[in-house]
């Protein structure tokens, strides 16, 4: 058994905003899933019985200091006041072999002072979705918190219906959110705001010590690049509130998320989002809006003069647009296998996306099939058979082939490069739902079977064909809500 050296998780927040919270023991805990990839970060042993007890929330290890944190935030564009870790308890921190500290957080381990009357628990359904999404996004190369394990229990919780409880263990270098800074600004606590910024910079942005504007610019660029990455794989977050945005530029809090199947640029993955604020096409703008709220909170760090601080903050925010544009065009070019840059590339890309939108073609597979296109105009293209507008497809594919010929594209090298960035497997809603229903019926082994497929999303895996297929018609409209 590996001896684990637990430490209190450093947050940089005032002690009053990080109260100690004991996890509530989970009745009859049973481990249902274990990510070997995430465990390898910290050298954790699946056979460690003491660790299993800890990750159920049934024991606090020596050296750990379980806490929850207070934060605020804008939810659906409106200031929501004090929020906080309502069902997340950070046990402590463990160090990886290279010395990096990873915070270990239990989601669903009971109430905290910030539960706002709720039970602090999570249900198996949402725990499975978060576990799979965290590891799937990591497999795609998209910055994210990680998920280590799911522990289930026969304990029943009332949501829309009665559902069984579970605890999912999340890992991250930090769980600090935009909302932490917003809450300190709301409290008008400039000294605590500065102390939090200093902590985050020293721990995670050491190149910007003493340079708040430079640090905020880097946070904004990371966030912009993250939004571009989401768009490139058809990922919809669903609840892009400022309290769900990581100060490290990680994908955080997997609630009513979804990967688009039949492409719709206006797709809304959260049926609670009646206005479509967080629709797919809106995500880049919302990311920028959230960054503006972070800057508003951090104005006291930029200058003692309010006017000068606003001027500097506006200049910093300008980094978002350029960072998003650069990352976005880089990703779309890579997905089309383009190795040179031409002025009309955005037009070619947007015409392709418009065709997918108009025909509701499968987003993931449409890009994947492009790797098989050859520049020879007489070569048949199987992708045409999957398009509801063959003539529109022919018109675009002709211009695409001409673009490939213009840069003397090597067919074999291009196909390999495209398959390395266009996934074959993503966490489609119907796949998650099938695993959830099986686990609820006592068959949890499918959780990690799917996780292992998603860990290698770009590599064709024998026997995994059904994980790559489009959902059958009856499973194309699964709705996801905030309830968990």
User: Catalytic amino acids?
Assistant: 243
Burial class from Cβ neighbours inside 10 Å (0-12, 13-18, 19+) for residue 339 reads middle
Residue 444 in tokens = 């949890």
Give the ranges where 77-211 is alpha helix by DSSP (H): 124-139, 178-186, 190-204
**CA 72 centroid distance within chain:** 20
d(CA 27, CA 444): 18
**146 and 36 in contact (C-beta within 8 Å)?**
no
Q: Are 210 and 216 in contact (CB under 8 A)?
A: no
Q: Where are the alpha helices (DSSP H) in 360-423?
A: 363-369, 390-406, 411-419
Q: Is residue 427 within 8 Å of 259, Cβ to Cβ?
A: yes
Residues 115 and 307: their CA atoms lie apart, in Å, by: 38
Q: Which helix (H) or strand (E) holds 106?
A: strand 101-107
Cα–Cα distance between 104 and 88 in angstroms, integer? 10
Q: Please name the residue that has the structure tokens 């009646």.
A: 274
Q: How many residues does the chain have?
A: 484
Task: Classify 57 in phi/psi space as left (phi over 0), alpha (psi -120 to 50) or beta.
Answer: left
Burial label for 473, CB within 10 Å (0-12, 13-18, 19+), is exposed
Rounded to whole angstroms, the Cα distance separating 33 from 39 reads 12
Nearest to 255 by CA among 277, 240, 275: 240
Cα–Cα distance for residue pair 462/339, rounded to 1 Å: 30
């Amino acid at each position: 058994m590996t001896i684990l050296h637990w430490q209190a998780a450093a947050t940089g927040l005032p002690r009053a905003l990080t109260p100690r919270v004991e996890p509530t023991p989970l009745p009859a805990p049973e481990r249902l899933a274990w990510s070997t990839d995430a465990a390898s970060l910290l050298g954790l042993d699946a056979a460690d019985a003491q660790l299993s007890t800890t990750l159920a929330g049934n024991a606090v290890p020596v050296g750990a200091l379980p806490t929850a944190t207070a934060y605020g935030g804008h939810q659906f564009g409106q200031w929501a006041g004090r929020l906080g870790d309502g069902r997340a308890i950070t046990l402590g921190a463990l160090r990886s072999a290279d010395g990096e500290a990873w915070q270990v957080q239990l989601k669903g381990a009971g109430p905290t002072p910030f539960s706002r009357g709720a039970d602090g628990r999570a249900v198996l359904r949402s725990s499975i979705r978060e576990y799979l999404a965290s590891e799937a996004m990591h497999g795609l190369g998209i910055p994210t918190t990680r998920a280590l394990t799911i522990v289930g229990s026969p304990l029943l919780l009332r949501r829309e219906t009665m559902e069984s409880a579970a605890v999912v263990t999340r890992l991250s270098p930090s769980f600090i959110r935009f909302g932490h800074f917003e809450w300190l600004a709301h409290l008008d606590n400039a000294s605590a705001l500065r102390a939090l910024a200093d902590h985050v910079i020293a721990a995670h942005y050491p190149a910007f010590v003493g340079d708040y504007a430079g640090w905020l610019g880097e946070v904004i660029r990371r966030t912009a690049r993250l939004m571009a990455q989401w768009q490139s794989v058809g990922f919809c977050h669903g609840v892009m509130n400022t309290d769900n945005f990581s100060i490290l530029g990680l994908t955080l809090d997997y609630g009513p998320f979804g990967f688009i199947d039949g492409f719709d640029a206006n797709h809304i993955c959260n049926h609670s989002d009646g206005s479509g604020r967080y629709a797919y096409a809106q995500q880049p703008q919302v990311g920028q809006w959230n960054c503006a709220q972070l800057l508003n909170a951090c104005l006291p760090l930029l200058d003692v003069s309010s006017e000068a601080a606003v001027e500097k903050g506006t200049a910093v925010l300008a980094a978002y647009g350029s960072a998003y544009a650069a990352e976005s065009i880089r990703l779309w070019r890579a997905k089309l296998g383009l190795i040179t840059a031409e002025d009309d590339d955005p037009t070619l890309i947007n015409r392709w996306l418009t065709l997918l939108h108009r025909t509701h073609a499968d987003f993931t597979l449409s890009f994947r099939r492009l790797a098989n296109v050859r520049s020879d105009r007489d070569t048949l293209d199987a992708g045409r058979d999957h398009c509801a507008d063959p003539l529109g497809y022919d018109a675009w594919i002709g211009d695409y082939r001409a673009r490939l010929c213009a840069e003397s594209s090597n067919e074999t090298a291009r196909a390999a490069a495209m398959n390395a960035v266009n996934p074959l497997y993503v966490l489609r809603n119907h796949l998650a739902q099938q695993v959830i229903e099986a686990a609820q019926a006592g068959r949890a082994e499918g959780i990690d079977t799917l996780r292992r497929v998603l860990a290698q999303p770009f590599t064709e895996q024998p026997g995994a064909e059904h994980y790559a297929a489009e959902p059958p018609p009856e499973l194309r409209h699964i709705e996801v809500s905030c309830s968990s």
